[in-house]
Amino acid sequence: MLGEEGRGFIYLMQDLPQERLSIAIGAVANAKAVLESTVAYTKERKAFGTTVASFQNTQFKLAEMAAEIDMAEVYTDRCTELLLEGKLDTVTASKAKLLTTDLQCKVADECLQLFGGWGYMWEYPVCRAFADSRIQRIYGGTNEIMKLIISRDLLS
């Protein structure tokens, strides 16, 4: 037995901010990785006689995702600083988990779209990234729970 009998739930609750931050960091890293592979793919893949990367819509989508991932990374970095200082609270960690896991799903979806039909084939990492991203919004507390935690703090 670790700790005192009957205090397991309390111990678990004390570490939730760190767990949620860990999920957030993973979400950012995964979003970044799928974006990098999509950038490489769009530079090589040809459609209508030119690379997919040469289309303005592709460029806009890639730019939007890169900007959002950078912002999420800055926020998770700040949360990491707060954790190291012993100041990461549940609400801040919940915001990080909510935003980054939603972003991971969005990026995986957008990247799969840029791969076209190939992206829906299991052999391509983007397909696996798309499937794997969905669980992020569930474990560590569902994103709906994150919204409740955040809204309760706002309304208190």
Q: Kindly list the catalytic residues.
A: 19
Please determine, for residue 7, whether its predicted confidence score (pLDDT) is greater than 80.
Answer: no
Residue 3 lies in a domain: no
In a domain, 138, yes or no: yes
In this structure, is residue 5 part of a structural domain? no
- Mean pLDDT of the 126-154 span: 96
Q: Which of 14-18, 23-27, 50-54, 102-106 has the lowest mean pLDDT?
A: 14-18
Is 9 domain-assigned?
no
User: Residue 13: which pLDDT band, with cuts at 50, 70 and 90?
Assistant: low
Residue 1 lies in a domain: no
- Cβ neighbours around 40 below 10 Å, total: 11
Q: How many Å separate Cα 48 from the centre of its chain?
A: 33
Q: How far apart are the first and last CA of the chain?
A: 37
SS3 (DSSP) at 139: coil
Domain that holds residue 93: 14-155
Torsion of CA 63, 110, 53, 51, to 10 degrees: 180
Residue 83, domain member (yes or no)? yes
**Assigned domain for 7 exists:** no
- The domain tally of the chain equals 1
Residue 121 domain flag: yes
Task: For residue range 85-106, list pLDDT tens digits in order.
Answer: 999 999 999 999 999 999 999 9
pTM above threshold 0.85? yes
Contact indicator for 136, 99 with CB cutoff of 8 Å = no
CATH, residue 144? 1.20.140.10
